[in-house]
A = this chain, B = another copy of it.
């Protein structure tokens, strides 16, 4: 190359940018559906963390090293991994330029650039020991070490990641305070009665909950020493973790001129194709259309990302009609203190806000049977149905560990457009040590409860 820098130019069939669950699984599915294609995944991180388990690094796992997605998952499928940063994409030439000076010519490009924490910009934001949730090994090691040495930890943001972290750090014997803008923790995800159960659990663990307040400043010299909040109080803090939301990482997509949606994510169709037919987007960086409201939403969950990745991988070179995302359903679960929580679809509050006329079905039963069975505990199910049609549009559950799969059962019921009558007469299995009694299987009881209100 005359007068220029020597550049490595390589050709690949499929190029995937981003190494989180979305990129990783798209790579694997590209290879499964198109085994003869070369598939290259470029990512910035040398090591990939399991995103959902990041809150459990400080105590339950005890080290960042226990929270790694192994590269063998990709290597055994024949996917090539490149550690580098993409700085530019030329869509006309189908060429990608990297920070290390490589050029990659692609046939199909997949953006799996993920999301990044929303930053809090108040006086003192740049003090030491103020952390965010970055999916970066070295950063998370610093956070873990800082928590180990701290006495007072303030979590700014009482969403489910903030609450999981509070639960985890409180169990280490630290003094933990949550500062939340809304009237209750987890209020973006659950209806009030479930938020209150979670808050009771947090208080049992000694967590100090301050809701309905804004963080106005961080104070300290080099390191943070206190957090000032909008009611005038000041909270001691050796470490602050800010967890006030994530936003799609679409810098590259914007630079490339791809269409960005009103939720801030890259616009994709049901096959995960962007506005450029040779470019797909998956995971947190891709906009989702809510299953019910049919509005763009920013839902960022690894499970959604993996469902999208399977669809993208299958549809890269030819369309596989049944493999598509016909609207995204938020389904997730969490654990706070001794109580497990799950939610699928819309809460009652969200449904009403979006204009749905709803009927609620509720049940509280025991999660083993008879109720005298050792370890038996209450399980609470709330189902949200559309009044006309009776379709299930949301479910919330609180109880023991079985809720992790009950919420997936409800998620499946939503996907399949099941109605209250179908759930009330569903067939199911029970066992004394594993489930509620057949007489009071909670999903069925809650559906019956709704039916009686429909009349």
- Enumerate chain A interface residues (CB-CB to B < 8 A): 21, 24-25, 32, 50, 52-53, 56, 60-61, 66-69, 73, 301-307, 310-311, 322-325, 328-329, 331-335, 340, 342, 344, 369-370, 372-374, 401-409, 411-413, 415-416, 418, 421-422, 424-435, 437-439, 441, 444, 448, 452
Contact = CB atoms under 8 A, between A and B. Distances in A.
A148 to B, nearest CB: 19
Given A311-B425, A323-B421, A404 B370 contact: no
Nearest to A334: B431
A9 to B, nearest CB: 32
A169 to B, nearest CB: 16
Given A424-B310, A425-B310, A432 B56 contact: yes
Contact of A412 (B329, B426, B431, B435): B426
| Copies of this chain | 2
Contacts of A303: 427-430, 438, 441
Q: Which of A66, A73, A429, A431 has the most CB of B within 10 A?
A: A429
Contacts of A60: 373-374, 432-433
Nearest to A419: B322
Contact of A307 (B53, B305, B408, B425): B425
Contacts of A307: 425-428
Given A303-B429, A332-B429, 11 more contacts: A21-B438, A50-B370, A50-B437, A60-B374, A307-B427, A307-B428, A323-B421, A340-B433, A405-B405, A411-B427, A416-B416
